[in-house]
Structure 1
Amino acid sequence: MNKNKELVKNTIIIFIGKACTQFITILLLPLYTKYLISSEFGIVDLVITYISLFVPILSLDLEMAAFRFLVDKRKDIEESKRIITTILFTLTVIAIFCTILFIPLSFFLNIKYKYLIYIVIIMSYFSQYFIQVSRGLGKNINYSISCCINGITTVFLNVIFIPVLKMEADGMLLSMIIANIMTISYLFYSLDLKKYISFNAIRLNYLKEILSYSIPLIPNGISWWIVNASDRTIISIMLSVSANGIYAVSNKFSSLFIGVFNVFQLSWAESVSLHVNENDSNRFISNVINIVLKAFTCLGMLLIAVMPIVFRLFIDDKYNAALDNVPILIVAMIFNVAVGLYSAIYIAKKMTKQVMNTSIVSAIVNIIINLLLISYIGLYAASISTLIAYAVMAIYRHFDIKKMIDIHLDRKYMFKSVILMIVIFTLFYQKNVYCTIMMILIALVECLLNFKYILKLVKLK
């Protein structure tokens, strides 16, 4: 199977599972905004945000190492067994140690839902590991099904726990715990992982190379968390928890947008890792990057254009203030698409220190701009700082990657996109029906003119 067919096949398989999760996130928004006031939604969003910080730190990002090292050894069962067992053993030891520390410390922690939060962290920790193992072994169908199981379980339990049992925030956390347990159970049995796990397969000498790969990803993960999540903390402290609830709603639509890309990103990371050292890899990588950037820029324009209509269909009126930040965050995610494309190249070449360095620069930029502006322009400071941070990271990574791979971006298309985006932004903030219609027409024409790039993305050669 050639590289294009392989990329398309994996993307379609992964899309089925990830789409389930992403669209369920949007479908749950009416439920959350109806039954939770903005301060409650803000608290839950903050909790989930901090969970996303602690999971990669506690796991030492070993789940990502599992994926990358298994890609190279997936045809060698004995080597795969050593990698899977060694990393699982290490993760289990860490989990036991953390639990021993947490139990006495919990008596001194005045944090609501602290026990549920800790269990969510541990379940997410192991769930992410098994998910990455399935990808590393090339079992993308199992990966996709596990995502569907997680998503369907989450939505079913949220519907039961929140409106029926009136459990509110604790119901959301409990649904996350059960969904992760279901995911772990499914992957363990469907992948027949018991044949890959043996105490005799533990190789502590493997840990040095594995940790040298994974540890630089920790500050990278923290930096990503700062870019993605420091906004929530700063908003909650300097404005209010209710304001964070408003901002959380703004983020849901940009999260859906980047979630669509993340489906492709998973198969892209695998393809680059498998083929990065081949003779024609430069042409393949450069071509895909151009096609993907054009396709997602068009998609971003269209999403901004229809947002005044879509927002009012899904979101309760008390969250109307969230609409203003959505276009800025969508443009930020277009830059995030570029960041993700370049990130796969670093991962493929096992250059995780460069991933760390570029992420740290972006995180610093995000915090400084946010703190400087939030007292003057409120929630706009968070969205603008996120946009600038991703733009800085994308530009930094582009020129750094060009030292290794000859990537040529279509400058004419980039210039045209900037002009069109300025026009769409101007129309968006006029907030009237005629401007919305004009926006949609402009975005549709642009999508039709560039539909060939979307076709190229899925064309089997």
Structure 2
Amino acid sequence: MSVAKKLASQTAVYGVSSIVGRVLTYLLVPVYTAYFAAAEYGIVTALYAYVSFLNVVFTYGMETTFFRFANQAGTDRRELYGRVLSLLLVSSVGLTALLVLLAGPLLGLLDIPAGHEGYAVWVALILGLDALAAIPFARLRLENKARKFATIKLANIVLNVVLNLFFIVLCPAVMSGKWLPALQPLVARVYDPSIGVGYVFLSNLVASGFTLLLLWRELLDFRFRLNLAPLRPLLKYAYPLMLMGLAGMVNETLDRILLPKWLPDNFYPGQSSLTAVGIYGACYKLSIFMSLVIQAFRYAAEPFFFAQSTEKNSPATFAMVLKWFTLCCVVIFVGISLNVEDFGQLFLRRPEYLQGLVVVPVLLLANLFLGMYYNLSVWFKLTDKTYYGTYIGAGGAVLTIALNFLLIPVLGYLGCAIATLVCYFTMAVLCWRLGEHHFPVPYPVRRLGLWLLGASAVVALGWGVQVEDWWARHAWHAGLTVVFLMALWLIERPKAVKPVVV
């Protein structure tokens, strides 16, 4: 099997859990937007923005560090596994306890009313449990146990979805007498209507605990070894990755934290700042189709890149991977952007959410550049110059904060989306330019640039030409999509190799 086919097969297995799991999770968006007002969903969006940020703090780059040191000659992988997991166990317990103590002030920062401190406590426990599962999951990836990895991840998501549907849909319907009134005494024992949107976090917490149970084999193979001397080289390699990850989370999630702070009063007439956050967060979910491809690719690509680093033709392999990854993402960008009206009406169940659909094409393109950045960042991971990733990420974070400060008061949540796009584009370009000097790879930059410009032009044309009639508008968008796909196929399809006549 060629290296490309190996990566594709691994990505496909990881992709099944990622795509199916994300689709199942995404099916909750219509539930949330139907049962929760935008202001309530704003609480979920804001708290999970902090979760994404704090996930980096809880794992502090140890997954990539584990891959790097496990692939070094002479490394005892079991010993390394014990040391890394021991370190994460101690730090996760300490950080979780700290967040539980700070539950009240954390909610105050988000302007969430007092009395909901349980939300922050549950979030802290979720972070701790997920951090403990990170290294066992990394071990499964290292050992190419993609099927087990995918199965456990999918089980986590299925349980989370089922619990959400039980507490948010079924229990209220039973208690109101709409469905199965005979079950009211049983449901009353486990359901408290005052928790409300908190069941989103409680369901996640139960699913995270269940995930650790499914990883029992990997956890039983763990021996506590907390010796700081052997850990120093790991921490030295990891801390730039943590800083890079923190900068990345600033770029990815800070807009949902800053939006309610910097949005002028009555910018959206009759809507609170948490309502704006809820609308933006719900529409952000529509970029999930790009995100899930990137996530599936990252699961397979990180160990793949390290394994291929010693091969003679690795630069050509990396260039080929970037090309086809980018072209696949370009198709998603065009297809979703031109048909976002249908996706919005399907998944966003209240009209108040639909006004934010304008951010979706911008966020899709932004995530495309983020995926390219993950591809291009292979050079500083393979050359042990991870501090360059910190510099790039920090520069992106500064740019994100500055652009949000300038654009939110003028454009609202559209300003957040534009800031994200500019940030990820700049990071990808910087990473490519620096990589040219330290680890040259023959990336087809000009060709990919033309495809990105062409895709952006097609999307701009689809949005710019306003067609009032529903059928004519959909025919126009579908026609543009088909024309672009045909052009891509005709130009990039694999060329047949002519047989040699002897």
TM-score (normalizing by structure 1): 0.91
CA RMSD of aligned residues (A): 2.3
Task: Name 1:332's counterpart in structure 2.
Answer: 366
The Cα of 1:277 is off from its aligned counterpart by 2.2
Of 340, 353, 364 in structure 2, the residue corresponding to residue 307 of structure 1 is 340
Task: Name 2:481's counterpart in structure 1.
Answer: 443
Task: Name 1:94's counterpart in structure 2.
Answer: 91
SS at match of 2:441: coil
What is the correspondence of 1:114-193 to structure 2 with a 5 Å cutoff? 114-165=120-171, 166=193, 167-189=195-217, 192-193=218-219
Which whole-Å CA distance do the structure 2 matches of 1:18 and 1:453 have between them? 30
Task: Name 1:198's counterpart in structure 2.
Answer: 223
Which is worse superposed, 143-152 or 405-414? 405-414
One-letter amino acid of the structure 2 residue matched with residue 447 of structure 1: L
The Cα of 1:305 is off from its aligned counterpart by 1.2
Which whole-Å CA distance do the structure 1 matches of 2:359 and 2:214 have between them? 39
Task: Name 1:389's counterpart in structure 2.
Answer: 423
The Cα of 1:410 is off from its aligned counterpart by 4.9
For the Cα contact (< 8 Å) 2:318–2:441, is it kept in 1?
no
For the Cα contact (< 8 Å) 1:70–1:137, is it kept in 2?
no
Which whole-Å CA distance do the structure 2 matches of 1:303 and 1:194 have between them? 44
Task: Name 1:265's counterpart in structure 2.
Answer: 298
1:293 pairs with 2:326: yes
Which whole-Å CA distance do the structure 1 matches of 2:56 and 2:452 have between them? 36
1:275 pairs with 2:312: no
Q: Which has the higher helix share?
A: 1
For the Cα contact (< 8 Å) 2:362–2:418, is it kept in 1?
yes
The Cα of 1:251 is off from its aligned counterpart by 0.8
One-letter amino acid of the structure 2 residue matched with residue 151 of structure 1: I
Task: Name 2:283's counterpart in structure 1.
Answer: 250
The Cα of 1:265 is off from its aligned counterpart by 2.2
SS at match of 1:205: helix
Which whole-Å CA distance do the structure 2 matches of 1:452 and 1:16 have between them? 29
One-letter amino acid of the structure 2 residue matched with residue 188 of structure 1: W
Which whole-Å CA distance do the structure 2 matches of 1:88 and 1:17 have between them? 24
Which whole-Å CA distance do the structure 2 matches of 1:453 and 1:350 have between them? 37
One-letter amino acid of the structure 2 residue matched with residue 149 of structure 1: A
For the Cα contact (< 8 Å) 2:30–2:347, is it kept in 1?
yes
> Structure 1 313/58 Cα, relative in aligned 2: closer, same or farther at 3 Å?
closer
For the Cα contact (< 8 Å) 2:4–2:321, is it kept in 1?
no
One-letter amino acid of the structure 1 residue matched with residue 136 of structure 2: F
For the Cα contact (< 8 Å) 2:46–2:257, is it kept in 1?
yes
> Structure 1 100/172 Cα, relative in aligned 2: closer, same or farther at 3 Å?
closer
For the Cα contact (< 8 Å) 1:329–1:387, is it kept in 2?
yes
Which whole-Å CA distance do the structure 1 matches of 2:334 and 2:87 have between them? 45
> Structure 1 455/350 Cα, relative in aligned 2: closer, same or farther at 3 Å?
farther
Which whole-Å CA distance do the structure 2 matches of 1:340 and 1:110 have between them? 33
The Cα of 1:256 is off from its aligned counterpart by 2.7
Which whole-Å CA distance do the structure 2 matches of 1:172 and 1:301 have between them? 32
Deviations 1:268-316 (A, max 9, x none): 2221110112111111111221121122112211111121112112212
The Cα of 1:17 is off from its aligned counterpart by 1.1
One-letter amino acid of the structure 1 residue matched with residue 463 of structure 2: F
Which whole-Å CA distance do the structure 2 matches of 1:163 and 1:324 have between them? 29
For the Cα contact (< 8 Å) 1:295–1:453, is it kept in 2?
no
Task: Name 2:400's counterpart in structure 1.
Answer: 366
Task: Name 1:217's counterpart in structure 2.
Answer: 241
Which is worse superposed, 401-410 or 260-269? 401-410
The Cα of 1:399 is off from its aligned counterpart by 0.9
Which is worse superposed, 262-271 or 375-384? 262-271
> Structure 1 97/2 Cα, relative in aligned 2: closer, same or farther at 3 Å?
same
SS at match of 1:323: coil
> Structure 1 251/103 Cα, relative in aligned 2: closer, same or farther at 3 Å?
closer
Task: Name 1:234's counterpart in structure 2.
Answer: 258
For the Cα contact (< 8 Å) 1:235–1:244, is it kept in 2?
yes
Which whole-Å CA distance do the structure 2 matches of 1:369 and 1:108 have between them? 27
Which is worse superposed, 445-454 or 232-241? 445-454
One-letter amino acid of the structure 2 residue matched with residue 376 of structure 1: V
For the Cα contact (< 8 Å) 1:14–1:140, is it kept in 2?
yes
For the Cα contact (< 8 Å) 2:123–2:205, is it kept in 1?
no
Larger radius of gyration: 2
What is the correspondence of 1:361-440 to structure 2 with a 5 Å cutoff? 361-403=395-437, 404-412=439-447, 414-429=449-464, 430=466, 432=468, 433=470, 434-440=472-478
For the Cα contact (< 8 Å) 1:299–1:447, is it kept in 2?
no
The Cα of 1:203 is off from its aligned counterpart by 4.8
Which whole-Å CA distance do the structure 2 matches of 1:203 and 1:125 have between them? 20
Deviations 1:82-140 (A, max 9, x none): 11111111112223333554565557766532221211111121122322222123221
The Cα of 1:327 is off from its aligned counterpart by 0.9
Which is worse superposed, 235-244 or 93-102? 93-102
Which whole-Å CA distance do the structure 2 matches of 1:284 and 1:202 have between them? 39
> Structure 1 444/125 Cα, relative in aligned 2: closer, same or farther at 3 Å?
same
Task: Name 2:390's counterpart in structure 1.
Answer: 356
The Cα of 1:23 is off from its aligned counterpart by 0.8
Which whole-Å CA distance do the structure 2 matches of 1:242 and 1:179 have between them? 28
The Cα of 1:72 is off from its aligned counterpart by 4.5
Deviations 1:301-344 (A, max 9, x none): 11111211121122122211121111111111121121111124
TM-score (normalizing by structure 2): 0.84
SS at match of 2:381: helix
Matched pairs, number: 449
- Between the aligned residues of both structures, percent identity stands at 21
